[in-house]
Structure 1
Amino acid sequence: MLRIAKPMNYIPVTPSIQQRAQMRAPQCIPLVMEPESKFYSNSILVLDFQSLYPSIVIAYNYCYSTCLGNMENLGKCEDFKFGCTSLCVPPDLLHQLRHDITISPNGIAFVKASVRKGVLPRMLEEILNTRIMVKQSMKDYKHDKGLTRMLDARQLGLKLIANVTFGYTAANFSGRMPCVEVGDSIVHKARETLERAIKLVNSTKKWGARVVYGDTDSMFVLLKGATKEQSFKIGQEIAEAVTATNPKPVKLKFEKVYLPCVLQTKKRYVGYMYETLDQKDPVFDAKGIETVRRDACPAVGKILERSIKLLFETRDISQIKQYVQRQCMKLLEGKASMQDLIFAKEYRGSFAYRPGACVPALELTRKMVAYDRRSEPRVGERVPYVIVYGTPGVPLIQLVRRPIDVLQDHNLRLNATYYITKQIMPPLNRIFSLIGVDVFSWYDELPRIQKVCSTARNELDSRKGTISQYFTTLHCPVCDELTQHGICCKCRSQPQHVAVILNQEIRELEYRQDQLVKNTALQYSGDEHRKAVCNLNHESSLGRQPCISLDTVQ
C-alpha cells in the first residue's frame, strides 16, 4: 500500500493508541441468515461471490483517499471526526463534485474513480490480477507437481492478503491505520449486494427457487423437484443474472450442488456434493460439524459420518439404528479401540490458565511435572488423554488419564457411559432430531453391560476397585454372544461345529502351555550355567583349583 501511495504523494496516518481508542465503534455486521434447519432431499445450490470485499472496494472506489466522510457533516465549514483524525471538506469543492459522488448504504460519501482512483482499489487490482496470472501458470505447468504446489501456495497467499484488506481498515483495537467509515461502508455494501441477490432469486418465478440460507458472501438455494442436470442449468442462470446486476468485478460464482443435504444451524451443514455435471459419485462435504472438528475423539466423527452416509444413501432409519447400537455395544463390552477414544487438547502453558481452571491438559501436565520436570509439553502441543470409570460423585476432571496409564493399570477401564451419552449421542441427536428421531432412545434400549478384567489382585489393590468390577457377564466360548447357559442356543444347534472350535482352542492352549514349560526349562538351565561360571572364576581368583572340570561347565 505504501509503495503505491508514495508516487501519488500520499503519506499514511500514524494514529496513537489514544486516538484509536477514541474512534467511533463499527456499526455494521455481515448478513448471516438463520437457516431453515432440516433434511433436504431436493437439490440445494451453493452460490458464492468471488472475493466479495475486494470486489466491493474496486467496484465502488472505497478508500481512505476517496472518502469525504458522513453525509451529516458535509457542507459544514468546520472540521469533523474522520477515523482517528479529523477532516474538512469545503462547500465549494463539494458543489463541484456533486455529480461524481457515490453514497454507501450507511451514508458515507466517496468520489468516483473518474475523479480520483483510490490507493486500496489499485492495490487490490494488482493483487487479484497477479493471482489470476499465478493460477494460469498452475494450469500450464500442472505436470510438475512440485511447482504446482508452490504456485498454489502463492495464489492462496494472494487471496488471503486481498480478503484481509477490509480487516486492515476496520481493526480499531490492534490495527495500524483503522478508519471506521471505510470499513463500515465495505460491510454494508456487501450486505446490500447479498440482499439484492436473494431478492432476485426469490422473485424470479421461472426458476422456482427459494433461498434457505445466506452467509456473508454466499447463499443456499432450494430447488424442489429439480434433477441434477436442471440444477446445474438453473445455477448457471442465477449466477449470470446476479452478476449482470452488479458492477465489475463483483461476480457471483456457481460452486456446487448438494443432493441431499442437512442444514443444522449457522455455519453447520453437511451434504453430498456435486461440483460438475459429469461427476458420477458424490463427495461427502461437511462444514462445522464434528466430522471435521478436532475437539472430539475420532470415534465421534467416524460414527457420525457413517450414520449420515447411511441416511443419504438408504433413507432407512432402522439401518442407522442398528449401526449406532452395534457401536455402543462395542464400547460397553470394551471391544472398541482406545486409539479412537483419545482426546487431544492444546496446552497453552502453565501461566496461561486462570487459577483453579479444570482443564485436562493442565491437570495431566501437573501430574507429569510432579514426576519429572522435563516432561512438561511445549506450548501449543496437543496433550492426549482418555476418560475412565470412577466412584460415583467424583468430578470429571479426576477421571482424566493418559492412554499409557490405562494400558499399564488393569484396574482402569474406559468410561463407555461417558463416551456414549456425552460425546457420541449429542452430535447424532442434533442431526437426526431434524427428522423427528430420538437417538437417545436407541441407547436406552440396550442392555446394561459392564465387562471387567479378571486379574489376580492382592488385598491392597482390591481396595482401589469399584463395585462395578465385581459384576461380569457370560459369553458363549464359540461365538462370544451373551448367554447365561455356557454355550448359546444358536451354537447348540450345530454340535459338530462347536466340537471343532473347542478342540482347536484346546490344542492352542496346550501348545502355549508346552512353550511356557520349555522356556522355563531353558531359563533354568541358563541360570545354572551362569552360577557354575561364576564359581569357577571365584575359585581361580583365590588361587585354588576348581572343584568341577571344564568339561562339566561346558
Structure 2
Amino acid sequence: MLRFAKPLNYVCVSPNSKQRASMRAPEQLPLIMEPESRFFADPVIVLDFQSLYPSIIIAYNYCFSTCLGRVKHFGQISPFEFGCTTLMVPPDTIAKLLMKQKKICLDNEENSRSMISFSPCGVAFVGRGVREGILPRMLSQILETRLMVKKALKENKGNRVVERVLNNRQLGLKLIANVTYGYTSANFSGRMPCIEVGDSVVSKGRETLERAIDLVHKKWGSQGVRVVYGDTDSLFVLAKGFSRPEAFKLGAEIADLVTENNPSPVKLKLEKIFQPCLLQTKKRYVGYAYESPDQEKPVFDAKGIETVRRDGCPAVAKVLEKALRLLFDTRDVSLVKLHVQRQLGKLLSGRLSLQELTFAREYRGAAGYRPGACVPALQLARRWVSNDRRAEPRSGERVPYVIISGPPGLPLFQLVRSPLELLMINKQDGPSGSSGPQPARVNAHYYVTKVLIPPLQRCFSLIGVDVESWYADMPRKFRFLIQPRGTGSMLDINLGKQVKGMDNCAGTSKKSTISAYFASSDCVACGAPLDPGNQAALCQLCQKNAHNTAFILASRCNSWERSAASLTKVYKENPLSDVLFLLNP
C-alpha cells in the first residue's frame, strides 16, 4: 500500500495505541442467517461471491483516501471524528459534488456513483470521477496478478515443482486481498484502522447478499426454490423437486443474474451442489458435494462438525463420518443404528485402541489460564513440571490425554492421564494388598455419554432419531468385582486378576463402591470354605481343575441369563398383576 501511496504524494497515518483505543467500535456485522436445521434429500445449490470484500472495495471505490466521513457530519465547519484522527471537509465541497452528481444522473443513470456514493451505514465516498482510491488500485493489480498466475498454473500442469510454486503464489495473493478489509478495521492491533471504511465494506457486503436473496425469491420462489442458509458471502439455495443436472443449470442462472445486478468485479459463482445434505446450525453442515454435472462419485464435505474438528478424539470423527455416509448412501436408519451400537459396544468392551480415545488440546502456557482453572492440558503440565521443570509443553503445543475411571464423585480433571502414564500404569503389577496406582481403565461410560453420543444426537435428531435410546436398548455388560477374604484388593472374576487402583476400598479409602463390602470366604466355583491363608477367590482344587471350573462358572452364568430372559418374557406377555402373582404365588 505504501508503494502505491508514495507516488501520489499520500502520507499514511500512524496512530498510537491511545488513539486506537479511543476510536469508535465497529457497528456493522455480516449477514449470517439461521439455517433451516434439517436433512435435505433434494439438491442444495451452494453459491459463493468471488472475493466479496476486495470486489466491493474495488467496485465502490472504498478507501482511506476517498472517504468523506459520515453523512451526519456534513455541514460542519470544524474538524470531526474520522477513524483514529479527525477530518474536515468544507461544506461547499460537498455541495459541488452533489450538484455534479445530480447532473450526471440526469444524463446517464449508469454513472450514478462517478462523483459521490454512500454506504449503507451512512458514510460518503468520492467516486472514480474525482479520484481512484489507493486500496482499489492495489487490489485490482493483486487480483489481476493472481489471474495471470492461475493461467500460468494451468499451462504448467504436470510439472510438480512449478505447480507447487505457482499455487503457493496465487494463494498468497488471495490471502493478501482478503485481509485488506481486516487492515481497515483492526482497531486493537492494526497499524492504520479506520472504522468508517471497515464498516462500509461490511455493510455493503451484507446489502449485496440480501439483494441476491431477494432476487432468488422473486424469480424462482414460485417454483419451490428458496434460500435455506446464507453466510457472509455464500448462499445455500434449496432446489426442491429438481434433479441434479437441473440444479446445476438453475445455479448457473442464479449466478449470472446476481452478477448482472452488481457492479464489476462483484461476481457470484456456482461452487458446488449438496445432495443429500444436513444443515445443523450456523457454520455447521455436511453433505455429499458435486462440483460438476458429470461427477459421479461425490465428495464427503463437512464444515464445523466433529468429523473435521481437532478438539475431539479420533473415535468421534470415525464413528460420526461412517454413520453419516451410511445415511447418505442407503437412507436406512436401521443400518446406522446397527453401526452406532456396534461401535459403542466395542468401546464398552475395551476393544478400541488407545489412540482413538486420545484427546489433543492446545496448551496456552501457564500464564494463559485464570487462577484455579481446571483444564486437562494445564493439569498435565503442572504434574510434569513438578517432576521436571523442563517438561512443560510449549505454548500452542497440543497435549494428548485420556479420561480414566475412578471412584464415584471424583472431579473429572483428576481423572486426566497422558497416554504414556496410562501405559506405564498398566505395565506395572504391584503386590497383592499393596497400595497401587490410580485406576488404569479408560472411562468408557464417560466416552459414550459425553463424547460419542452428543455429536451423533446433534446430527441425527434432525431426522427424528434419538441416539440416546439406541444406547439404552443395548445389553449391558458389567465387570463383577469381588473382594477375597483377608485382603483390601478387588478381584475381577472375569479376568482372574487384581484390579489396579481399587486397593483398600472398604478400609482406608473414603470413596468406594458397594462391591467392596462383600468379602467372600467361600470358593466362587464349588462353595467350599477357603483356607485362612488363601487370598484367591478359588480353592486349591478348583485352581488345579481350571477347565472344569471355567465350565461350572459359565454354566452358572448361562442359567442366570436364562432365568432373567424367562422373567423378562413373562413381564412383557402378562399384565403387571399377573406378574406379581407369578412371582409371589
2:31 maps to 1:20: no
**What corresponds to 2:457 in structure 1?**
429
Say whether the 8 Å CA contact 1:207–1:234 is kept in structure 2.
no
Say whether the 8 Å CA contact 1:450–1:468 is kept in structure 2.
no
For residue 364 of structure 1, report the CA deviation from its aligned partner: 1.3
**What corresponds to 1:384 in structure 2?**
400
Distance, in Å, in 1 between the alignment partners of 2:514 and 2:161 is 57
With the length of structure 2 as denominator, give the TM-score of the two structures. 0.78
With the length of structure 1 as denominator, give the TM-score of the two structures. 0.83
Give unmatched runs, 5+ long, in structure 1: 478-482, 490-554
Letter in 2 for 1:360: P
2:555 maps to 1:485: yes
Would you identify which runs of 4 or more consecutive aligned residues in structure 1 move more than 6 Å? 458-461, 468-471, 486-489
For residue 379 of structure 1, report the CA deviation from its aligned partner: 2.2
Say whether the 8 Å CA contact 1:106–1:185 is kept in structure 2.
yes
For residue 405 of structure 1, report the CA deviation from its aligned partner: 2.4
Distance, in Å, in 1 between the alignment partners of 2:478 and 2:472 is 15
Structure 1 residues 443 and 457: alpha-carbon distance in aligned structure 2, compared to 1, 3 A threshold = closer
- Secondary structure (helix, strand or coil) at the match of 2:368 reads coil
**What corresponds to 1:227 in structure 2?**
243
**Aligned ranges for residues 289-438 of structure 1 at < 5 Å?**
289-410=305-426, 412-438=440-466
For residue 362 of structure 1, report the CA deviation from its aligned partner: 1.5
Q: Deviations over 1:372-391 (max 9, x none)?
A: 33322222221111111101
Letter in 2 for 1:432: F
Distance, in Å, in 2 between the alignment partners of 1:349 and 1:66 is 44
Distance, in Å, in 1 between the alignment partners of 2:188 and 2:379 is 34
For residue 240 of structure 1, report the CA deviation from its aligned partner: 0.3
2:152 maps to 1:111: no
For residue 219 of structure 1, report the CA deviation from its aligned partner: 0.6
Distance, in Å, in 2 between the alignment partners of 1:245 and 1:460 is 71
1:199 aligned to 171, 192, 214, which one?
214
Say whether the 8 Å CA contact 2:505–2:513 is kept in structure 1.
no
2:138 aligned to 118, 123, 130, which one?
123
Q: Deviations over 1:26-85 (max 9, x none)?
A: 211100000010000100000000000000000000011111111122133222211112
For residue 156 of structure 1, report the CA deviation from its aligned partner: 1.2
Structure 1 residues 46 and 116: alpha-carbon distance in aligned structure 2, compared to 1, 3 A threshold = same
2:34 maps to 1:34: yes
Give unmatched runs, 5+ long, in structure 2: 102-114, 427-438, 480-491, 507-511, 519-524, 526-546, 548-552, 560-585
Say whether the 8 Å CA contact 1:406–1:412 is kept in structure 2.
yes
Letter in 2 for 1:148: E
For residue 456 of structure 1, report the CA deviation from its aligned partner: 4.3
- Secondary structure (helix, strand or coil) at the match of 1:32 reads coil
Question: Aligned pairs, how many?
Answer: 480
Distance, in Å, in 2 between the alignment partners of 1:327 and 1:401 is 23
Letter in 2 for 1:154: R
1:215 aligned to 207, 227, 231, which one?
231
Say whether the 8 Å CA contact 2:277–2:288 is kept in structure 1.
yes
**What corresponds to 1:454 in structure 2?**
495
Structure 1 residues 264 and 108: alpha-carbon distance in aligned structure 2, compared to 1, 3 A threshold = same
**What corresponds to 2:174 in structure 1?**
159
**What corresponds to 1:75 in structure 2?**
75
Mean Cα deviation higher: 285-294 or 67-76: 67-76
Distance, in Å, in 1 between the alignment partners of 2:330 and 2:266 is 41
Distance, in Å, in 2 between the alignment partners of 1:238 and 1:200 is 8
- Secondary structure (helix, strand or coil) at the match of 1:262 reads strand
**What corresponds to 1:146 in structure 2?**
161
- Secondary structure (helix, strand or coil) at the match of 2:366 reads coil
- Secondary structure (helix, strand or coil) at the match of 2:137 reads helix
Q: CA RMSD in A?
A: 2.3
Q: Deviations over 1:391-410 (max 9, x none)?
A: 10000011111212222324
For residue 181 of structure 1, report the CA deviation from its aligned partner: 1.0
**What corresponds to 2:537 in structure 1?**
none
Q: Deviations over 1:497-530 (max 9, x none)?
A: xxxxxxxxxxxxxxxxxxxxxxxxxxxxxxxxxx
**Aligned ranges for residues 241-280 of structure 1 at < 5 Å?**
241-280=257-296
Percent of pairs with identical residues: 59
- Secondary structure (helix, strand or coil) at the match of 2:555 reads coil
Mean Cα deviation higher: 200-209 or 6-15: 200-209
- Secondary structure (helix, strand or coil) at the match of 2:293 reads coil
- Secondary structure (helix, strand or coil) at the match of 2:72 reads coil
Distance, in Å, in 2 between the alignment partners of 1:462 and 1:81 is 72
